[in-house]
Amino acid sequence: MPSDNRSNPPGEQPPTLSHVDERGNARMVDVSPKLPTAREAIASARITTTPQVVSAILAGDLPKGDAIAVARVAGIQAAKRTADLIPLCHPLPLDCVEIDIAQAADNALAITCRAKTTARTGVEMEALTGATIAALTLYDMGKSADKAMTIGPITLERKTGGKSGDYQR
């Protein structure tokens, strides 16, 4: 079985990779034996730019228009299409996707994506995808004003539900 390249204490087996079969081939995990449960995940992203670009984004004054509205829709749409983008993700029936974009500093915006479902597997990838694509959309909308914008970090902040339990960063 392939290892994840982290060292393990003596005598302890390396963790198994659920997306790899006994022959080392990539596979989609069979979640059919699991019962659907309520699940939620919150992910965040940050975009750093100049204070002038942050002000223009917040005021809706970029040449391409209302970047926040476009980024919000793009993030929601991306979360809904996560299984089309990430090969081994299960398609999930999303009950809710919310994108929030707020000023984090004079030169930065914070993007938060909250995704909810009742399903057999978690919704973390959908939240991470939504936050990421919202950030990329802000970059696209504002790149004419600042090509040096940076995106990151992108992080899972919280998840609830499922066999592995709750997680809080």
DSSP 10-28: TTPPPPPPTTB-TTS-B--
For the question of residue 140 being annotated catalytic, the response is yes
Point out the catalytic residue in the list 61, 95, 100, 140: 140
The answer to whether the CB of 136 falls within 8 A of the CB of 107 is no
The answer to whether the CB of 41 falls within 8 A of the CB of 161 is no
Place of tokens 């940050």: 46
Residue 34 CB neighbours (<10 A) = 13
Which residue type does 157 have? E
Verify cis geometry, omega within 30 degrees of 0, for the bond prior to 153.
yes
Catalytic residues: 140
